Structure formats: C-alpha cells, structure tokens
Chains A and B, each alone.
Chain A
Amino acid sequence: MKPCAYKLVWLAAFNAALGMAFLVLVDMGRDLDQCQTDSVLLAMPQDTQFDLAILGSSRAKLFTRIRPNIECLERTLGTRVFGMATPFGGGIVPAKLYLDSFYAQGNRADTVLLFLDPFMLFCRGPNEGHKLVYWEPFRFSFFVRMVREGFDYRRLVTYIRSKFLWNHIAQKPIELGRHDETLSSDLLDPERMSMRMNSLYPDGLDPAQFTRYAKTLRDVIATGQRQGARMIIAFAPTLLGDDPGRPMVAAFLDELQAQHEFEVYDFTHAVADPGLFADYDHLNSAGVEEFVSRTLKPLLRGQNQQ
C-alpha cells in the first residue's frame, strides 16, 4: 500500500507546489491602487495608518472605487481613506473578511465606517455566495478565513481556480472616470422601485439567515472596537426608502449598543434629489460631493448627532 500512497502524495505535492509557484509569479510586481481594481486585497497595503476605513456594499464602494470620488472624499475630509467595500451586492461576511485581513496586515484606522444596507443581513448571495472570489488574489490566510466563515466548497474551488484563468492573469488596472449619470425621472415609478427593492431580498426576510449574519455584524463591530477604532454604522442614502429588513436590523443594533460602544446613523433619506443618484441606490459623483460635504464631514468631525 505504501508505494501507492507515496506516489499519490508525491503527485499531489508536486502539482500543489507548481500551482503555488505560478500564483506567486502572477501576483509578483502587481501594484494597483484602490481606484484601479475591484479587488480589496490587491490594493491593501501593509503596516499603514489610515484615518478612515470604509466597509459596505456597492453603495459604499462608489466612494473609493472612482478616483474623482475618493479625491473629493480625502480633500473634503482632509483624511487618508481606505475602501474595503464590496461591489455587486456585498454582504456583511465580505466586510468581516476584509476587516480581519486589514488588521492582520498590520494596518490601522482611526475610524471604521460601515455602510450597512439591511439586505446584507438577510441573503446568502451577498455573503458566502459573493463574486469576490473571482477578483481577489489567492492569499492562504484569506482562504482560511473563507473556510471559517462557511463558504461553500464550490466557492472555495472557484476562488483558487479562477487565479489560473486568463481573466485574472491578464488583469490590468481599470480607471473609472467621474460618474455623472443621473437617474431618469421616468424611472421613479413606485412599481419599478418596489421591484428593485425586492431584488435585494431574493431569500426574503429569513430570520435564520438574519440570526447568522447578525452574529457576523457583532464580530465586525467587536473587531473594530478591539483595535481601538471609532466604529460607525450608517444606513447609506437611497431613493428606495426604508428596506423591509430595516426594523429587524435597527432593533438588533439597539440591542447591540448596550454591549458595544459604536455610533449608528441613518442617512437613508440624507440625499433626496434624484439628480444626485446614478440609479435608485447609488450616488453619482455630484451626489458623493454633496453627501461628503454636508453629512460625512460634520459626522467625522464629531459635529453630527444621531
């Protein structure tokens, strides 16, 4: 039996080593900043002090993914910002993965701002089913975190194997220009807006999912607090109005505030002008400027009250 086992182990070890060498070669010298890629890990530095770290879904990603937006943010606030939000409907699990990786790489942030969209706590898709596995580079520690967070084995396989495919190997920096698109007024139709809202809740308001992801939210808050950051949870501006999951999330946050020290703000209705939105729930660049100067700036300077 020994020779057979020996050869099988040798075959597996040889191919694993070959794969690792390939991954190292591919990622060697790849230097992208946060405006050039959807990947958070590729842009994440080491041992760096930031004033503000942003977590959340695509509604938060737009602050750092588009160069004019982050320039506006850093200029207006006078701070150094690192974006760890996840595009394409990112959930709370990716937020936890990124925040853990952020600290594990020796980075620090004075303030951690989590734009919490209630749907993030109700559906599997934005969490363990997220597409981030395609664009994040292979990091063993990140892989282990994904396993711990209960990612499906098919997602884990996709995470590894997508690194050997052309899309990842030939990945080039992508610069997104100022986002001036505005929401057409004929789209402000309650039926369409309701359809958009429903699309955010493919699994409905499943209490079991909520219990599971609420625990992850608690972990995110605890992690930031442990690292001495000022933790802020904010509901991002949207034209869709209040999410159906919002009452449950708000009640949970109230409960959590008894145990942890963090601030909660509701900016759902902070921007009401449809001309400042690129679609129902994403600000355009003018909207970002407006929101940052009117709302975020006083908040981060401690002038805003809940």
Chain B
Amino acid sequence: MLFNSLQFVLFFPTVAFVHFALPPRYRWAWQLAASYFFYMCWEPGYAALILISTLVDYAAGILLGRTTRQATRRGCLFFSLAANLGLLFFFKYYNFFADSIRTALEDLGFECALPLSGFLLPVGISFYTFQTLSYTIEVYRGNQEPERHLGRFALYVAFFPQLVAGPIERAPRLLPQLRRWPSFDYDRVTDGLKLIFWGLFKKVVIADRLASFVTPIYQSPSAHSGLALSTATLFFAFQIYCDFSGYTDIAIGAARVFGVDLMDNFKRPYAARSIRDFWRRWHISLSTWFRDYVYIPLGGSHVTLRRWQVNILVVFFLSGLWHGANWTFLAWGLLHGGYLLAGHTIEPVRARLAAAVHLDRHDRLLQIIQTLSTFGLVCFAWIFFRANTLSDAVYVATHWYRDWNWPQTFHAFINMGPTINMEPYFFLKEFGLSIGLIGFLTIVQAFQAREPIRVRMHRWPLWLRFGVYSLGLWFMFLFGVFRQQEFIYFTF
C-alpha cells in the first residue's frame, strides 16, 4: 500500500480510530495486524520474509540473553547476520552478482550461464533487515535487553509507518515506545497530521511533478541537450529529496498520531556546507547505522590515515550497494567517499585560500560559497544515482555542460515538450510551476532553520491556521499529481 494512494486514505483513519478505541494493552496486536495487512496489500507471500526475519532475530535475542558464553553469543550473532544478510543477498543482489560474474567470465572467454532468480525484489527488505540487525547487534553488545514478547518484537520489525522506507529505527529507542501506548493527545495527533499533510504535499505536488521532466530525459539522455540534462539533474535533486523526505514526514507523522516518536531522517540537507555535513543531514538513520555498525567497528578515525581512507571507502561502497544492485549506485557511493577523502585532503588548502581572501568561517559569503559548491557536488553525484546504466551516467556527466550556446539552446529547450511527451504549452506551464515550487520549498526550508513551521503554527490564531490548511488543501488538490507513483526508496 502506498502512502499516496486512496487505500491509505481509508486505511489510516480506520487504524487510528480502532487504535484509540481499544484498551492500551491490546493496541500492539491491532498495530501488528494493521502492519502486516499494509505490507500484504503489495504482495502477500513476501510477508513471510518479514516473519522469518522476526523469528530469527527474536530467537537470537532470547539466546543472547540466556548465555554469557562468548562463543555461543558470537554464534547467535553470526546466525542472525547470516540469515538476514543471506535473505537480503538472495532477493536483492543475487541476480546482479550472477549477471556480473557471467559478463566478466564471458569477457575472459569462458561460457557461463548462472541461473537467475525470478523473484520480485521485496519492498522494504533493506530497511527492515537493517532494523532487525541493529536489534541483535545491540543485544549482543549489551545495550539492549532481549525483547521477550514476540508480538511486540514482531511489531518492532513491521511497524507500518516505517516498514518499507524507514527511518531505520534502533531497538533501544523504538521498543520501549511499543510497550506504552499513550492515550489520544490532541496536540500530538494534530502535529502528526500536519506532518503527514506536508509529506504528501512534497510527494504529490513537487516530487511527482518533477519526475515528469526527469524520467523521460534520463530515459534517453543522448537525445537531449546539455541544458536539458543539467535541468533534469537539478530537478532530480529536488525530486528525490521531496520524494524521500515526503515519505519520511508521512511515516513520522503517522507514528506520532499513535504516540510513537521516530527519529529524524533529514535536516535541510541542501543547506549543508560540506559533504561531511551533508551526510549528517541526509538519510540520517542510514548514515548513523553505517557509522555505528560498520565505520566505528572498523576503527573509525582512530586509525592510520591510510586505514581511515579505506574505512571511508568501505562504508560508502556498502552504502551505494545498499541502495541497489547496480553499478550506478556503487559509483554514486564511491563518488561520495571520494568527495570526503578529497575534502579532507584539501582542507588546509581551502582554509588558506579563505584566509587569503579574508573570508572568516562565519562569513555569510563563505557560507554561501560552501553551500553552493556542496550542492553542486551532490547534484553531480545524483547523476550516477539516477541514470539507468553506468554508460548513461557517464554520458550525462560528460555532456551536461555542452551545447550551452544561447539563444538556440534556450529556444530548443522551451520547445522540447513533444520530446518528453508533453504539449508545448503544457510543458512551459509545468516547467514554470516546477521552478516556482522549488523556490517555495527553498523558502520554507530557510524558514524552518530555527523552528519547524508547524510548531510556529501552534501560536497562530485559529482563523489563520484554518486559512493556511485550506490553501494547502486546494493547492494539493489542484496541482497534485495523482498517478500513485511509487516512492523512489521503495525499491531499495
């Protein structure tokens, strides 16, 4: 079930109504049933994978809690890692590796036909696998008591607001919240509803509108000019942000309605002043997961420079691989790793340069330059993330700056409607609206720097809030794209 579907519009109020009508001690069961129903609306059989993950990690947690023998504990952890990562590998990566091995062997002159799996990629498998793994690792480390209530643990794995695209929660934070369900709280519920509304707005008004430009251009990049390729890449930067942060807002908002606080996943990422800063603001639940369970165990930064560089590349290689079984994602991950290493290497040079032109660290101009250059680097990396193949990505990366001979390029650009299946007038109208929406989003983000607008709205008089909600509803109704497009991160 998609958050931007009619089914969800009926599903969510029903779940909420029954949730609050039930005595608190039965709410976990209702939430568990609702979560499995939510998932099974997509492909009922694949709920079995969540069940297997749940049972494996529940058993591993219980065994870890019962024994102090290091060898047994290691065995339990290994069992959990092998089972979860094995499922993830089989369903998500097997075909990729089999195909890559076949191609490599063919290049070497060997004939090799490895059988390919015909299974669909289970929605959300990367998310719930990482969430269950974090539980077992925390229990192994002694930071988390094993959960003895199987139902509650199953809900921890399958809680529907964050089941298919995160945020990837940690057991010490989420499990206690699933034991105590608060009663209906007006402020909390309305706050959650506002978040859901804002998330939906970002998805159906901004992200899906931008997708109608990005998709056809990236479908055949060689058929488009440099101006079109750069515009599509810029639009994709906002599309993926609105798509993913929109999903996250709906997830956090829905959970908040039930009294569950999920972690923040985004903190105005395009306001980042460096790539390191970007990763503290983008997909926070995943980057902290990799930090806590991969980067730090590898030694983090408390190792030699060479080893640290390897650690960074390993983390970003895995991060790229996590996103998808495609060379483009690996290139995207490694590019970000490369940015971080390069940024670290030239840091003294940058500092000297800033000092030479008398730019203080807190100087507004320096901040703007840093933000824009970081955004430019991030956009360049998005080329690899979005392209269908590595050769397409290389084409875009080497052509986005070409053919900028005004005014012919501009003339060709404004007449490109038919090449992306849009009538010329419609193309211009949609393009103008898209630019306006990006501007609107940027202004809203700037306003949210200190305090979320929805928190400020609590202090506004009722008539003003009412007017803003009505305006938002009308805008979403009139300009929303109701094609029920999947969220991009559903496929990861």
Contact = CB atoms under 8 A, between A and B. Distances in A.
B26 interface: no
Given A3-B186, A4-B189, A153-B6, A11 B469 contact: yes
Interface string A163-178: 0110000000000000
Contact of B470 (A4, A8, A15): A15
A8 B193 CA distance: 10
Nearest to A14: B470
A153 B2 CA distance: 15
B482 A154 contact: yes
Say what secondary structure dominates the interface of chain A: helix
Nearest to B484: A154
B78 interface: no
Interface in B462-478: 466, 469-470, 473-474, 477-478
A161 interface: yes
Interface-centre pick from B6, B20, B193 (highest chain A CB count, 10 A): B6
A154 B186 contact: no
B483 interface: yes
A4 B482 contact: no
B190 interface: yes
A29 to B, nearest CB: 24
Nearest to B184: A1
Given A1-B20, A1-B184, A3-B186, A11 B482 contact: no
Listed from nearest, the 3 A-B pairs whose CB atoms lie closest are: A154-B482, A1-B184, A153-B6
Contacts of B466: 11, 14
Interface string A1-28: 1011000100100110010000000000
Interface of A: 1, 3-4, 8, 11, 14-15, 18, 153-154, 157-158, 161, 164-165
A8 B6 CA distance: 18
A147 to B, nearest CB: 12
A65 B477 CA distance: 32
B243 to A, nearest CB: 19
A15 B472 CA distance: 11
A64 to B, nearest CB: 26
A245 B474 CA distance: 44
Contacts of A18: 470
B186 A4 contact: yes
Interface of B: 6, 20, 184, 186, 189-190, 193, 466, 469-470, 473-474, 477-478, 482-484
Contacts of A164: 477-478
A154 B483 contact: yes
Nearest to A12: B473
A11 B6 CA distance: 19
A154 B484 CA distance: 9
Nearest to B16: A1
A14 B466 CA distance: 10
B470 A11 contact: yes
Contacts of B469: 11
Contacts of A158: 482
A159 to B, nearest CB: 12
Contacts of A165: 478
Given A154-B482, A164-B478, A15 B473 contact: yes
Nearest to A158: B482
B484 to A, nearest CB: 8
Interface-centre pick from A4, A157, A158, A165 (highest chain B CB count, 10 A): A4
B474 A15 contact: yes
B260 to A, nearest CB: 17
B190 A4 contact: yes
Contact of A157 (B20, B470, B482): B482
12 contacts: A1-B20, A1-B184, A8-B193, A14-B466, A15-B473, A153-B6, A154-B482, A154-B483, A157-B482, A158-B482, A161-B477, A165-B478
Contacts of A11: 466, 469-470, 473
A16 B20 CA distance: 28
Given A1-B184, A4-B190, A161 B470 contact: no
Contacts of A161: 477-478
A157 B482 CA distance: 8
Contacts of B482: 153-154, 157-158
A91 B6 CA distance: 26
Contacts of B20: 1
A15 B467 CA distance: 10
A283 B344 CA distance: 74
A18 B477 CA distance: 14
Given A153-B6, A157-B482, 6 more contacts: A11-B466, A14-B466, A15-B470, A157-B477, A158-B482, A164-B478
Nearest to B462: A7
Contacts of A14: 466, 470
A184 B186 CA distance: 71
Contacts of A157: 477, 482
A4 B185 CA distance: 10
A157 to B, nearest CB: 5
A186 B469 CA distance: 59
A154 B6 CA distance: 10
A8 B184 CA distance: 16
A246 B196 CA distance: 51
Nearest to A3: B186
Nearest to B257: A4
A54 B258 CA distance: 57
B47 to A, nearest CB: 26
A292 B113 CA distance: 67
A293 B328 CA distance: 67
A91 B198 CA distance: 39
A81 B193 CA distance: 54
A80 to B, nearest CB: 37
A157 B478 CA distance: 9
